[in-house]
Every structure is written in structure tokens, then in C-alpha cells.
Amino acid sequence: DDVPMEDETSKQIMFKLLVSVGSDPKIPTDVLVTKNFVPLSDAIASDVEDGMGGHISETFVTCIKELPSKSGVYAALFATINIEDPDFCGVILKLAFDELNQALAEQRYATACNLLRFLAVLPKVRAVSGDETVTRVLGPLLRSYQAHHGALPLACREQVLACLLACALWGGQEVM
């Protein structure tokens, strides 16, 4: 598994950029979006072309799972990337859906809620439609819950319901 040094350096730089984006409270949101997201989106698109898409998508989804207070930041960055590379955003969405399903199956509800928070916010930044979010994420989750809630322990049922209710709050009228 010999990885050239410049690839490792590029991966480390991209990791630091994704983890730190939106972390400085002194940077106003409009500046973050206009001055930081476009260059970062361009860098991501370039690195995806250079074969780092797998690393970037995994890092992006890890940030979504581990940094829920920045869901809006990652949703807005996702929307910016989507303008330039919608196919890559499809990869990120698929990975987020896969991670969500795995987290639910393993009863890791904090992780599931963090992923749902990101997915519910996407319609607010016009990255996906509210209908698509309801059809592809919230609807199937609700139907699965209705079909299987009797088999779940009470604590699990409560966690799933809390996640679903939180999605309605995070997504607002766009997902209602």
C-alpha cells in the first residue's frame, strides 16, 4: 500500500480544511459562503479529479457524523459543491444514506440523528428538494419504524421518534 507522499499530504490538507470549515466564529456567514466555500469547492473538485474522491467523501460524511453543530455549514458546502460536481455529491449522499442505515441497524442513534440532521437541512440550502428528502429519507424511515416498532425496545423506539421529530424541526417547512 505505497501511497505517494504528495497524496498523503493532500489528504491531510483536505481533512484539515473539511474539519475546520465554519469553525471560526469571527467569520460572518456571508463571508464564509462567498469567500471560503467556492475556493474549497474548487479544491474538492480538483482533488476528486485527481482520484481522491473516496477519501473526500468519507471525510465529509465523518464530519457530518462527528460535528453535528456544523450541519448547516456542511449542507451549504454540499450545495456549493453540487453546482460544480453533482455526481460527486451523489456519492456523498449515497455514503450518508449507507451510514445512516448502518447506524440505525446498529442502534447508534446519535450518529443516525447527526446524519438525519444534515439530510434534513439540505432542502433549506436548495441542494435537494424537500419532496426528495421526504421520499428518500424521512418517509422510508417512518414506514420502517411503523412496521417494526413493536420489535424494538422502548428506549430504541423513543430514540427513533426523537430523531424523526428533530428532522421536522431541522428541515422546517421544506420537509413538511
Interval 93-120: pLDDT, tens: 999 999 998 998 898 999 999 999 999 9
Q: How many residues does the chain have?
A: 176
Q: Which three cell numbers stand for residue 125?
A: 440550502
The pLDDT, as a whole number, for residue 6 is 63
The pLDDT, as a whole number, for residue 2 is 52
Q: Tell me what the mean pLDDT of segment 110-138 comes to.
A: 91
Q: How many CB atoms lie within 10 A of CB 127?
A: 23
The pLDDT, as a whole number, for residue 168 is 86
Sorting pLDDT into bands at 50, 70 and 90, what band is 152?
confident
Share the mean pLDDT of the chain.
Answer: 90
Most confident of 2-11, 63-72, 145-154, 164-173: 63-72
User: Is 80 exceeded by the pLDDT of residue 43?
Assistant: yes
Contact 92, 57 (CB under 8 A): yes
- Report the sign of the C-alpha dihedral through residues 96, 74, 36, 20, in that order: negative
Q: Which three cell numbers stand for residue 24?
A: 471560526
- Written as one letter, the residue type at 7 is D
How does pLDDT run across 7-31, given as a tens digit for each residue? Answer: 788 889 999 999 999 999 898 888 8
How does pLDDT run across 57-83, given as a tens digit for each residue? Answer: 999 999 999 999 999 999 999 999 999
> What's the pTM?
0.87
